[in-house]
Amino acid sequence: MSKLSLKKCQQVEIDAADPFKNDVLDRKANIEILTQFITSYEQSIVLCIDAGWGQGKTTFIKMWQQYLKNQDIPTIYFNAWESDYTDDALIALIGEIGLSIQELVGEDKTTAEKIIGRIYKLVANFTKAAAPTIANLGIKAASGGLISADEISTAFGNLSESLVKEQITQYEESRKTLGSFKEALSELARCYADGDAHKPLVIFIDELDRCRPNFAIEVLEKAKHLFNVDNIVFVLATDKTQLGHSIRAVYGQGLDVNGYLRRFIDFDYLLPSPVKSDYIISLAKQLGLDKYLNRNIFSNYPLIRILKDIISLYNLTLREQEAFCNILNIAVRTHFYILEDNCVTFLFLLNILKLKFPDLYKSLNRDNKSTFVSDVLENINAQYTANNTYYLEFLECMLLSVIRPTSHFSYEETIDDYVRKYNFNDVKKQKLIDSFDMVKGFKITIQDLLTIKNAIEISSSFRLN
């Protein structure tokens, strides 16, 4: 037997010549519209690409970044989550800009290196050590540096006056430094754009919602206040709901998060939900699973259609679909018999339950057959909405047969009981009747379900390359 070769789902490859070559989610139109939008502004703006976890934000902005590069629009990519081990967001941002200068060539690179050198010096002024505080003086007093109460009181008074003067001086210096900092940034942006005033420098900030709350807030503040320079555009890719949780963790649960974020974000763009069923086909092909899925079962009913329907019914995110395919890949290559028609649909179902409803998945055992099946049927029906057009009634019928084998019951009676329990209409009832006719020759037992569960669990023993 040949050696088993396994790999996990890879990130979408962004082709340099054609960034939309592997665009299975049809993002091209969104990117073209957003490009037209940001290039119509000469002022600094902050645009937020808002989408939930696992909806493809990173792939979207990397695809967009390559598209901008092909339009000769300069870009910088900053992964905030990879940088939040630092204590200062400004240092991290400037460091990323400094690294990106290596991509420039010729006179632009030479000029940019001189400008970034000036910026480094200006940033140093923002991070000067604070002056001694009254608390520090108290420590000195306690250690014997000051003796009498009068001396301490006089020293505190003198220190307060000197601190005020020093703080005012520092404020005046910081205002001058900020002006010089922004002027240098503006020069750098022009340098990136090769002198074209109509080309913005686009700085993408990714994974902000995964950062430590304090670091995420600091990135927002620095982007808005220090980088508020003409022709610099910030694009944040984040889940605003999750970012809101981070902000409330710092400022309290009663904070108006939307009001707070409006201080930093000029425009929101809600990333449209992708046609997820197309993505699962792409993943299956990438892993070589398409050869298993491109066959018909249950009277010429396509297996890939069943997969697409159940993925859509449970609304798996793109990231959850990747996890689903990784598990499926290992299961079908190590337990070939679960590809039999009476097992494969349950392989899909149990795999999804493991990802979305782990407690229900774990409850499957030999001693709670009826309870488990009843809970799964209830779970399936909880996913349905009035507009669902998925044809998965055969799955419900097969689950019912686990509890009441066909040799021991009338399927008409079973359907009637099921229809009454969930108050189904006549259309649904007829679908169930048709499905029972379809699956009469297929049997599934509790042992089959346990075998499938074991095949799924094998995936946790593999290390994916």
Report how far residue 310's alpha carbon sits from residue 348's, in angstroms, rounded to the nearest whole number: 8
Q: Could you read off the pLDDT of 341-370 as tens digits, one per residue? A: 667 888 999 999 999 999 999 999 888 888
Give the pLDDT band of residue 2 (cuts 50, 70, 90).
very low
Give the pLDDT band of residue 276 (cuts 50, 70, 90).
low
Phi first, then psi: give them for residue 309, nearest 5 degrees. Answer: -65, -45
Which one has a higher pLDDT value, 438 or 179?
A: 179
**First vs last Cα of the chain: how many Å apart?**
21
Average model confidence (pLDDT) for the chain? 80
Per-residue burial over 99-120, b = 16 or more CB atoms within 10 Å of its CB, e = otherwise: ebbeebeeebeebbeebbeebe
Give the pLDDT band of residue 235 (cuts 50, 70, 90).
very high
Task: Say what the pLDDT of residue 124 is.
Answer: 79
Q: Is residue 439 within 8 Å of residue 394, measured between CB atoms?
A: yes
Which one has a higher pLDDT value, 8 or 202?
A: 202
Average of per-residue pLDDT across 75-90: 86
Task: Say what the pLDDT of residue 141 is.
Answer: 39
Using alpha carbons, list the distances in angstroms from residue 440 to 156, 302, 392, 407: 91, 18, 15, 11
Average of per-residue pLDDT across 296-319: 80
Report how far residue 25's alpha carbon sits from residue 57's, in angstroms, rounded to the nearest whole number: 12
Task: Say what the pLDDT of residue 465 is.
Answer: 45
Phi first, then psi: give them for residue 212, nearest 5 degrees. Answer: -60, 140
Task: Say what the pLDDT of residue 13 is.
Answer: 81
Report how far residue 311's alpha carbon sits from residue 277's, in angstroms, rounded to the nearest whole number: 7
Residue the block writes with tokens 């990519």: 77
Instruction: Tell me the one-letter amino acid at 48.
Output: C
Task: Say what the pLDDT of residue 3 is.
Answer: 41
Task: Say what the pLDDT of residue 136 is.
Answer: 42
The DSSP annotation for 429-449 comes to HHHHHHHHHHSTT----HHHH
- Which residues are paired to 79 by β-bridges? 206
Average of per-residue pLDDT across 136-163: 50
Res 149 pLDDT > 60: no
Q: Which two tokens stand for residue 285?
A: 């092909």
Q: Is residue 284 within 8 Å of residue 329, measured between CB atoms?
A: no
Res 211 pLDDT > 50: yes
The distance from CA 272 to its chain's CA centroid, rounded to whole angstroms, is: 14
Task: Say what the pLDDT of residue 155 is.
Answer: 53
Res 249 pLDDT > 90: no
Report how far residue 222's alpha carbon sits from residue 227's, in angstroms, rounded to the nearest whole number: 7
Q: Could you read off the pLDDT of 406-416 as tens digits, one per residue? A: 555 577 888 88
The distance from CA 66 to its chain's CA centroid, rounded to whole angstroms, is: 20
> What angle do the packed helices 213-221 and 240-251 form, to 10 degrees?
100
Residue the block writes with tokens 């992708």: 274
The DSSP annotation for 134-153 comes to HHHHHHHHHTTS--SHHHHH
Using alpha carbons, list the distances in angstroms from residue 331 to 297, 309, 322, 348, 460: 19, 20, 14, 11, 10
Average of per-residue pLDDT across 373-391: 82
Give the pLDDT band of residue 377 (cuts 50, 70, 90).
very high
Average of per-residue pLDDT across 273-292: 75
Q: Could you read off the pLDDT of 174-197 as tens digits, one per residue? A: 567 778 888 888 888 888 877 676
State percent of the chain over pLDDT 70. Answer: 78
**Left (φ > 0), alpha (ψ -120 to 50) or beta: where does 211 sit?**
beta
Report how far residue 189's alpha carbon sits from residue 75's, in angstroms, rounded to the nearest whole number: 10
Res 37 pLDDT > 70: yes
> What angle do the packed helices 28-38 and 57-70 form, to 10 degrees?
60
Residue the block writes with tokens 């902005």: 61
Task: Say what the pLDDT of residue 372 is.
Answer: 93
Reported pTM: 0.65
Task: Say what the pLDDT of residue 246 is.
Answer: 85
Report how far residue 180's alpha carbon sits from residue 177's, in angstroms, rounded to the nearest whole number: 5
Res 285 pLDDT > 70: yes
420-427 own/partner pairs: CB under 8 Å, 24+ apart: 422/381
State percent of the chain over pLDDT 90. Answer: 17
Task: Say what the pLDDT of residue 135 is.
Answer: 42
276 contact partners, CB below 8 Å, separation of at least 6: 311, 312, 315, 316, 317, 318, 321
Q: Could you read off the pLDDT of 59-71 as tens digits, one per residue? A: 899 999 999 999 9
Q: Is residue 64 within 8 Å of residue 197, measured between CB atoms?
A: no
Average of per-residue pLDDT across 211-239: 88
Res 265 pLDDT > 70: yes
- Within 10 angstroms of residue 225's Cβ, the number of other Cβ atoms is 12
Report how far residue 277's alpha carbon sits from residue 289's, in angstroms, rounded to the nearest whole number: 15
Which one has a higher pLDDT value, 232 or 293?
A: 232
What beta strand segments (E) does 282-391 contain?
A: 296-297, 301-302
Which one has a higher pLDDT value, 297 or 236?
A: 236
Length of the chain as a residue count: 465
Task: Say what the pLDDT of residue 97 is.
Answer: 87
Give the pLDDT band of residue 299 (cuts 50, 70, 90).
low
Q: Which two tokens stand for residue 221?
A: 């503040």
Instruction: Tell me the one-letter amino acid at 89.
Output: A
Q: Could you read off the pLDDT of 103-147 as tens digits, one per residue? A: 877 788 888 889 888 888 888 776 653 334 444 434 343 444 444
